[in-house]
Amino acid sequence: MKVHRGLLLAVLWLCVMVSALAVVHTTHRSRVLTGELVAAQKARDELRFEQERLLLEKGAWSAYGRIEQVAREKLNMHVPGSNERVLVPEQ
């Protein structure tokens, strides 16, 4: 009976130790994953900010007035006069 009782205590003690180590491991893993999550959320927020900035910049660069200004100043383009227009007949 004492052998069974001692064996039972040893098994229970082993179970308690395994359980404690599992808690320590799980807590550590949870902290590591929480850190990774925070870093990923920060990167997401930075990418969203960059996307919004780029969308605003795209809108500014693609505005009709901006395109016309670049065409006039850098490409020396102008609206053709009536004498510069050529009509191409349909076939």
Does a structural domain hold residue 91? no
Q: How many other C-beta atoms can be found within 10 angstroms of the C-beta atom of residue 48?
A: 10
Tell me the per-residue pLDDT of 15-59, one tens digit each, with 9 for 90 and over: 999 999 999 999 999 999 999 999 999 999 999 999 999 999 888
Q: Please report how many Cα atoms fall inside a 13 Å half-sphere around the Cα of residue 54, on the Cβ side.
A: 6
Domain that holds residue 24: 2-78
Indicate the pTM of the whole model.
0.56
**Number of structural domains the chain divides into:** 1
Q: What are 63-84's pLDDT values in tens digits?
A: 888 888 888 998 999 888 888 8
